[in-house]
Structure 1
Amino acid sequence: MEAFIAVTFSFPTVLFTVLLAVAVIYWLISLVGLVDLDGGGDADLDLDASSDMGGLMVTLGLQGVPLPLVLTLLFLGAWLTAYFADLMLGSLFGTGWGHILFGLVVIPLALVAGLLATAVLVRPLRPLFRRAYKRPLEKQIIGAACVVLSFNANKGQGRAEVHRDGAHLILKIRSDASLARRDRAVLVEYLPEHQAYWVVTEAEFLAGSSG
């Protein structure tokens, strides 16, 4: 037990101990109803491969499940890797700079191992979330605010991110407004022929609502 505690709260394992503790606290809060997870794993989520986040998640097969679940599994896998690496090999590097250098090598390796383990674990879970959220995503998020990630004014199209119920969505958008990166807009209509959402600026949407 003493060895477990010592490794858990020593570098580099302590980094993932903290992250895993945050994830556990998040799930505990969600259990008492303070966080709503409904809709977080919609399988119709449009994650574009050209965006950093969307491309990574699609490549690893992490789409279709709630982002909090993905992060929790990632932290758990990284924690286990760092823990056993430190337990079995940490003593070989002493307690000084040698151990710090050892930890700096373990951290990225643990993240990679955790990411690969997460990619394997979420695949059998994806159908569960697909069945759990049968209402089309495009109907669920109409009226939601988004933040523009990129926009080509000449083509009137781009991409935006939406944070909804713990899920981070990256969506294709179209608009006749002059939008720039980090502008706030509102999804007002789904365009099935383009698999994109028509958006207006948040100011325009609020002005129309108040009018």
Structure 2
Amino acid sequence: MREFVVAALSFPTALFTFLLLVVVGYWLFVAFGLSDVDALDGVDGAGAETLDGLGLGGVPISVALSLVISLSWFGCLVGTVLLSGSGFPGVAVAALSVLVLVVAVLVALVLTRLVVVPLRGLFDDRLAPTRSDFVGLLCVVRTGRVDLGFGQAEVTAADGSSAIVQVRQAGTEPLRAGSTAVIHDYDPEGEFFWVAPVDLDFPIN
């Protein structure tokens, strides 16, 4: 146990020991519902771009950083323990410790990329827009009419993707191809959206 503590507090492992404690604390907050997985997203745009450049994008920043820190700490710990029993002189151990740091970080990045790839699909599904996200958005009628039994319209989601959806209206005001309407409700049984004509000269609250 003493050897483990000494290794954890020695260079280069010590560089990641504090960060690992932060990671453990963060995920404890997530487990108890005091934070969420996406809490760090958007905090630092440059950091997010850096992770994307390293091939670690597509998952929350917290997940990618936690993996890199944990794997780097473990790699440094193993290297430090091996060096402590190698019998090399102090100068050689110091030089090799720097090499252990570099190798541990590089290996951690590679392993994290391998882990991130299958996780991307999971988080893409979680972030995908749902039908309820269309409620409150404007749409453009694509059929000759919209009434209680017929109609289609094109709606653009917040992420820029567009879709052709089934729409209905309870009113009698004509809605023809090219008309603009606002989606105000979704009928899950009929799988269509309720729309109403909208005058773009007036703001929608």
TM class, shorter-length: 0.5 to 0.7
TM-score (norm 1): 0.52
Residues of 2 paired with 1:79 and 1:97: CA distance? 22
| Deviations, residues 146-175 of structure 1 (Å, cap 9, x unaligned) | xxxxxxxxxxxxxxxxxxxxxxxxxxxxxx
- The one-letter code of the counterpart of 1:7 is A
Partner of residue 61, structure 2: 67
1:4 aligned partner, one-letter code:
F
Select 1:101's aligned residue among 91, 95, 102.
95
Distance across 1 between alignment mates of 2:54 and 2:116? 10
Alignment partner, residue 176 of structure 2? none
Q: Gaps (5+ residues) in structure 1?
A: 140-189, 194-211
Structure 1's 135 and 66: CA in aligned 2 closer, same or farther, altered over 3 A? same
Amino acid of the structure 1 residue aligned with 2:2: E
> Which is worse superposed, 14-23 or 32-41?
32-41
Q: Which has the higher contact order (CA 8 A, sep 6+)?
A: 1
Q: Give the direction of change, closer, same or farther, for the CA distance of 1:129–1:106 in structure 2 (3 Å limit).
A: same
Residue 27 (1) aligns with residue 27 (2): yes
Kindly report which structure 2 residues correspond to 1:102-117, keeping only aligned pairs within 5 A, or say none.
Answer: 102-117=96-111
> Alignment partner of 1:61: what SS?
coil
Distance 2:15 2:84 in 1: 15
Query: Aligned residue for 2:14?
Result: 14
Q: How many pairs are equivalent?
A: 134
Deviation of 1:114 (Å): 0.9
SS at match of 1:135: coil
Query: Deviation per CA, 1:81-138, whole angstroms, max 9, x where unpaired?
Result: 11111222343365844433332222222111111111111111111111122238xx
TM superposition shift of 1:39 = 8.3
Equivalent residue of 1:28, what SS?
helix
**Residues 53 and 37 (structure 1), Cα distance of their counterparts in 2 relative to 1, 3 Å cut:** closer
What is the distance in 2 between the residues matched to 1:191 and 1:38? 17
Structure 2 unpaired stretches of 5+: 134-157, 162-205
In structure 2, C-alpha distance between the alignment counterparts of 1:40 and 1:64, rounded to whole Å: 14
Contact preservation (8 Å) 1:29, 1:35: yes
Per-residue displacement from partner, 1:26-62 (whole Å, max 9, x unpaired)? 1112222322335878xxx9xx9xx7852x4344431
Q: Which residue of 2 aligns with 1:169?
A: none
One-letter code of the match for 2:51?
Answer: M
Q: Which amino acid aligns with 1:11?
A: F
Overall identity of the aligned pairs, in %: 31
Give the number of the structure whose alpha-carbon radius of gyration is greater.
2
For normalisation by structure 2, the TM-score amounts to 0.53
Aligned Cα RMSD in Å? 3.4
For 2:159 and 2:3, the matched residues in 1 are separated by 58
